[in-house]
Structure 1
Amino acid sequence: MSTKRCFHCNEPVPAGFNFGCQFDGEARSFCCAGCLAVADTIIKSDLADYYRFRTEPASKANAVPTELAAALTEFDTPDILADISIQQGELTEIELSISGISCAACAWLIEKQLRQLPAVHQVNVNSATQRCHLIWHATQAPLSQVLNTLAKIGYQASPFIADHEEQIFKSELHQFLKRLAVSGIMTMQVMMLAVALYFGDYTGIEISHQGYLRWISLVLTLPVVLYAAIPFVKSAWRGIKAKQLNMDVPVSLAIYYTFFASAYATAFSTGEVYFESVCMFTFLLQLGKFFEYRARARARDATSNLLKIMPVAATLLHNEQQQTVSAKRLTIGDIILIKPGETIAADGDIIIGSSSADESMLTGEYAAIAKNVGDKVLAGSTNHDGLLQVKVTQPLLSSHLGQIIALQQRTLSQKPAILQKTDRLARYFVERLLLIAVATFLLWYFWLDADRAFWITLSVLVATCPCALSLAAPTAVTCALASLNRRGVLIKNSMVLDVLPELTHIVFDKTGTLTEGRFSIAKVTILDERFTVSGVLNLIANLECYSEHPIARAFTSHLTQQLTLQQVDIQVGGGISAHYQDKVLKVGSAVFCKVNSPEPAMVYVSYDNTCIAAINLHDALRPEVPQLISMLRQQGYQLVMLTGDSSMQAEALQQQLQFDLMKKGCTPAQKVAEIERLVQAGHKVLMLGDGINDNPAFHAAHVSVTLETGSDLSKNQADVVLLQPSIGLLNDLMQASTQAQRVIKQNLYWAAGYNLLIIPLAVAGYVSPYIAVLGMSFSSLLVVSNSLRLLKK
């Protein structure tokens, strides 16, 4: 018999649950009251098309609890709202981060629901970035009302604190798109007129018609030279002021030299016009730069979501009175109150209370960390159980979390090393190209034929214009980055594409890297024959429903029957207990369960002061690891595992995967020492890890790679981030780097070979400007087309 699935979230419906409703003439079942409430709200709001057209099930919903509704009202505080939004007259603008968006239907549902609110002026939801841009009348409806509206249909939203850098980045990207559109549209229009002019030269065209087409082409080219091409002029001018001849100097010369020559020919009805070349040349260069910029934008979108964990509000204690304030306005010495489930708003020391905290955003470790008086807590981490009073030691912007975000901005501004090499080559090439152009003009003007000097010099500039060279590396690099990003690989460090093809050794961490980093049940030992394995697991699952502890997640799927528990109590660092059938049920450590001679295990279960079961948990091997190890070994890499785990699981993995070298029980310093030994022996080393304890090893290796599920600090320190929870992407990274290097070399060989061939022909006068344009365009298109092959990988 097939298991019933929840109509809203598609999770299994537990036995004995009778939540249901009628929809489209059929009975629909739900796994909990929250999903039923959400579905009921959606259907009654005339938004039932969401269920008809969605492509993926929604995230599991919960009815909006009173605590959540109360917490959302913090965003209505004037100081906090001012920090997280922008006021535009009577309207307020804000960016929201929304969890639970699974497809375009979710975005449609959110937009339709919010547009029903009279206070909402404009709303746009991006399902890819899981963000919502909202403009509304805050005086008519507080922000908490908007967020509650989303919560009622199953989506948890919070303000996204976009930083100044990101706002500038979006503005620049918008300008890129406008310039690209202008140059692209004008290229198409001018090309049509150019075709008429070219055919007219062969078939005979009246002078008046020719002049008319030329003047129209001139007018259509003006937006290109006065707007779309301006960034090249500015860049060239900055280079000249800095006494550096960058790639944009000959680019600007070619564009404006050709334009003014064509304008002269149009005004005086002499010579040839090349307006289509000006437009096409500008469009191709803008396209190449847009590819590069868009890849960086994709990288920024992938990492900037770290900003959504930035705390917004804090509860300040002043004269024993609670006051809601903006987290950004906390100062050293302030006393703040941290309630269970809240995000900690600043780095500080606990002065009253005890609890446990989720610091996985820094450490990559999913196990909760016990916190007592005197212990430090970190901004952005989550308080699990207890009520804490914390004395602020570092304000938000200078906290660990603030430093992480600052690191992120720094890495996104880096330029790939291969582009730095082509820049040096370009400077060498540009200097000689300008000298050749000047020498060509002087030679023809004073010694050969003064009437042809201008046009032959134009041919030299156009034919040898470094368009192909300027596109050779950037297009290949950005296409490789786009291809890798599409597959879930983000390259952040400039040296990676250079070093990866030379790697000899790959070093792996174990926990959270080779393994999933999440607890799962390895063995259940029943110590009381009155109970069965499934019965014990169902008892634990019922009890752990009240806990936020990571261990609880190992048991949630074993909930088969809802039980009535009373007097549930959580002991931080010990376990959880409740009264079941008038007797005490406990799940937790040996001390908490009062087990005298326990069988070795991680979790114990006692009922009526009798130990009834012992459960061993373990970290499962990622399913893609055996195949990845096999492929890397076949490619000739030496594989090493360095782990801090000293248990037998490390030995078991070694027997299964057969690493060339395995060392267990390693401290961070020992990992660094081992990698340094390999480096000193002349090997090129890549380190793959996921936690803050791997960061020193990251710096010791030539290339560092981490997972999206790893700590935020490791993601900001690493050269490469695997954005999907699969280390099988490491093989894609290795192959893509090799392919990118091969394409870059092909592009550079072609660009250099073409220029070596065309320069003497152009200087000798055998290449007319018309042929020069065709040659330059063909060379550029060949380079771009060759690079675009990387997108198909």
Structure 2
Amino acid sequence: DKKVLSFCCRGCQFVYEVIHENGLQGFYRMREATGDVCQLPGQAPGKSYEHYDREEFYQRYVTRISEKRSSILLRILGMHCAACVWLLEKLPDILPGVLACEADFLRGQLRVDFDPLTVAISTIVAQVDALGYQVQMAQNESERKAERRSTSSRLMRLGIAGLAAGNTMLFAVSLYQGRYTGIDPQYRDYFHYLSLLISLPSVMYAAIPFYRSSWQGLKHGMLHIDLPISIGILAGFGLSAWNTFTGRDEVYFDSVCALIFFLLAGRFILESGLLAVQRRTNLLSEFIPRFANRVEGESVHSVLSEEIKVGDTLVIKAGELVSCDGIVVDGSAFFDCSFLTGESRPVFSEVGTSVYAGTWCVEGECRANVLEPSSKSKLAQLVAGVQSAALRRVPLIQLTDRLSRYFVVTVLAVAAITFLSWLDAGTVRAAEVALSFLVVTCPCALGLAAPVTLSVAISRAARRGILITSPWAIERAAQIHTFFFDKTGTLTLPTPTVSRLWILEGDKVVTELDEQILKERWLSVLKVAVGHSSHPLSQAIHHLLARRVSSHSLFPKVTNELGRGLIIEDVELGELRFGSLRWIEQCAIRVASPLRLVLQQLQHEQISLSGVVVNSELRAIFGFSDSLKPGARTLIETLQKQGATVSILSGDRTPVVQRVALDLGVPADAAWGELLPEEKAERVSTSPHSAVIGDGINDTLAFQEAHLSIGVHGGLEAAISGSADVFVRSGSPEDIYAAIDGARQSYRAVRRALVLSLLYNVVGGTLAV
């Protein structure tokens, strides 16, 4: 019996054929056994892979092992389960010339060893793509080599320090026991000299980073936190060597080697973590493609994005990421700009309009001249603002820096006083006590607690789609007592729906869009104008009219009055206005009796209202209904239980705001509606330790007055240009609370580390002297 198979697309059928043609049906058995399903499809058959065979690509990404063996590291998207690993590691059975494959499931990487004389990289990538996995490049070879060299050097120092510490401590156990049970002086001296020889590589090589940073600090007139450590290591080794040569009992080789090992181990973990932070916050690697299609004469070639220069012409096809900022010179296409601008619908770009790096071409094909390469694009500038947050010297870090400097001075001063105080007991005894004090007191936790904690916090937030654009955000979050929330899109779903409408037709009011009204020119102009606005109410109107009203051929001039509405200028109709009723009523408009009666009836209705004015006459009123976001009430209740004051500031009608406040458990006297942006800012300015959570554009003035500002929609560009300290990409209440609570926990962690470090050093130093 032959089974009739059906596939959702040609891509799935192609993958099925490849697996069965190569005898890899075991993939399905493994997938069923693990219960996992790969959900990310590969790229479409027929895609060009020629750029993988360019000489520049080989030099950048391929490691040459021998004449017939090279290696490349690929990043695999869609590797979800053990079956995926099994399938990818079967490449040597499918492609002649592929020598070995090793899949790293945790990192999502695939290392492929191949014979470059037999198989091309483009063939390997095409086969992986055909199996249903998208391929991206991992770090280039020079970056990997530099990272490997750094890691190898740190591991070598750590290994030498560990071996020295382990062996000297074994000898120390025998020496300590010999003090109580007796030991022949010859064996004692023998163990001393062996410990001296074993500790030499640790002191002279493994500890070099401490000496280097101490010397660099002294050269620039600074006392580095490694200075007491360096003095302690050298003094301890020197005193132990002197006692060894003079035949004394007291040597500290084991303590010196153990100190070096544990300090190096701690810093290795720290540097590895910071390296991971840098990778996670490198947003450009996620939104800038590795390759672009460049026009060269009469042909088009795929080249590395780094090779693109100003003035080049690129071909941008559907399904591709844009690599550079440019201007369209031929063709037209729709682009998804949601991450950059917050615009939920694809944006149409034609000749003369701009395209930006990091946006997706979702439909169409065009050619664009490059105005800025990816490294200088608008996205690169915005991301630089995010990444620099981890590097700036915020007050908390400046405080720990000052404490560390004072601590170093204090430690050195106390060590000197201790040495002088114990001179009556002999020079050697005085040196031993001073050395004990230097070894016990360690400023590492004091100096590294703040920068490390803040870097890790920024990294964890970035992985969740929470971008910390201000370095002060984490510290300020712990000081917030009052939270001001915008309503629409923050506490309620981003796009409301038009639930009711009233349109003036002659001398009567109609409550539905009939065929006659749909032909009105002002509706067509309104549809085009609101289609280019990201405001939730504009999007709701556009959704209502999109399929029912034909678009006007000429795009009207639109001016966005933030917090108020749109001013639309049409060549035939003159001026139109769409916005809040409060704003419209302030514009000295005419209101026909039928609509005036409607306004009176709606005065206490708990629905959002907007109006349309054509040539100073009110022509329509739209009523909107919105729903609370899942988790909004939990967010408000949690903040209130923690003792915070929660308020709502909105430009929507007061009855609507009061209804939302009632649903969320916010007191009626803490919910204000019908506020203009300036009025929101004025309310916020009266609360010195307040946070504003709202739109990255419409709440700009309130953001500037707030102690902490959190943008929840409007795109990365809007959040940063709108002065938001934190940008929550998803806008979900859960992520909003995660941003607030994560910042608070990080701040508390820094404070705990500082207190414990100071307490330990004070107690330990006191006991040492």
Whether the TM-score (by the shorter chain) exceeds 0.5 is yes
Partners of 1:648 and 1:390 in 2: how far apart? 50
Is 1:631 aligned to residue 638 of structure 2? yes
CA deviation map 1:623-657 (0-9, x unaligned): 23321221012223334556799999988755533
Q: Which residue of 1 aligns with 2:88?
A: 110
Q: Pick from 44, 52, 56: which aligns with 2:36?
A: 56
Change (3 A) 1:478 1:161: closer
CA deviation map 1:480-502 (0-9, x unaligned): 77887898877675434422211
CA deviation map 1:206-229 (0-9, x unaligned): 333333433343344334323332
Secondary structure of 1:97's partner? strand
Secondary structure of 2:232's partner? helix
Scaled by the length of structure 1, the TM-score of the pair is: 0.69
Residues 469-478 or 387-396, more deviating: 469-478
Q: Which residue of 1 aligns with 2:426?
A: 449
Scaled by the length of structure 2, the TM-score of the pair is: 0.71
Following superposition, the deviation at residue 388 of structure 1 comes to 1.7
Secondary structure of 2:245's partner? helix
Partners of 2:624 and 2:110 in 1: how far apart? 40
Contact 2:709/2:726 (8 A) holds in 1? yes
Partners of 1:338 and 1:78 in 2: how far apart? 23
Secondary structure of 2:169's partner? helix
Q: Which residue of 2 aligns with 1:657?
A: 664
Q: Which residue of 1 aligns with 2:483?
A: 506
Following superposition, the deviation at residue 621 of structure 1 comes to 5.1
Which structure would you say has the larger Rg? Answer: 2
Q: Which residue of 2 aligns with 1:3?
A: none
Change (3 A) 1:280 1:677: farther
Q: Which residue of 2 aligns with 1:439?
A: 417
Contact 1:97/1:308 (8 A) holds in 2? no
Q: Which residue of 2 aligns with 1:255?
A: 233
Higher RCO (CA-CA < 8 Å; seq separation 6+): 1
Is 1:591 aligned to residue 596 of structure 2? no
Q: Which residue of 2 aligns with 1:150?
A: 128
Partners of 1:647 and 1:88 in 2: how far apart? 72
CA deviation map 1:4-53 (0-9, x unaligned): xxxxxxxxxxxxxx9877xxxxxxx9765644553564462365364255
Alignment of 1:270-669 (within 5 A): 270-304=248-282, 306-317=284-295, 321-407=299-385, 409-414=387-392, 417-445=395-423, 447=424, 449-466=426-443, 469-470=446-447, 494-508=471-485, 514=491, 588=547, 590-591=549-550, 622-639=629-646, 653-654=660-661, 656-657=663-664, 660-661=670-671
Q: Pick from 725, 729, 734: which aligns with 1:728?
A: 734
Partners of 2:445 and 2:31 in 1: how far apart? 51
Q: Which residue of 2 aligns with 1:237?
A: 215
Following superposition, the deviation at residue 722 of structure 1 comes to 6.2
Following superposition, the deviation at residue 235 of structure 1 comes to 1.1
Q: Which residue of 1 aligns with 2:180?
A: 202
Contact 1:80/1:313 (8 A) holds in 2? no
Change (3 A) 1:697 1:462: same
Identity %: 30
Partners of 1:700 and 1:82 in 2: how far apart? 52
Partners of 2:118 and 2:625 in 1: how far apart? 53
Partners of 1:482 and 1:96 in 2: how far apart? 23
Secondary structure of 1:388's partner? strand
Say what the alpha-carbon RMSD is for the aligned residues: 4.8
Partners of 1:163 and 1:508 in 2: how far apart? 48
Residues 647-656 or 197-206, more deviating: 647-656
Partners of 2:152 and 2:701 in 1: how far apart? 39
Partners of 1:152 and 1:343 in 2: how far apart? 20
Partners of 1:139 and 1:41 in 2: how far apart? 24
CA deviation map 1:337-362 (0-9, x unaligned): 32333333322222333321111231
Is 1:38 aligned to residue 15 of structure 2? yes
Q: Which residue of 2 aligns with 1:193?
A: 171
Alignment of 1:94-105 (within 5 A): 94-103=72-81, 105=83
CA deviation map 1:79-121 (0-9, x unaligned): 5665665667756655533322224553453234367544445
Partners of 1:377 and 1:188 in 2: how far apart? 61
Change (3 A) 1:226 1:55: farther
Partners of 2:713 and 2:58 in 1: how far apart? 31
Change (3 A) 1:32 1:618: farther
Partners of 1:98 and 1:408 in 2: how far apart? 26
Change (3 A) 1:279 1:105: farther
AA aligned opposite 2:734: G
Change (3 A) 1:646 1:628: same
Aligned length: 654
CA deviation map 1:563-604 (0-9, x unaligned): xxxxxxxxxxx99xxxxxxxxxx994532799xxxxxxxxxx
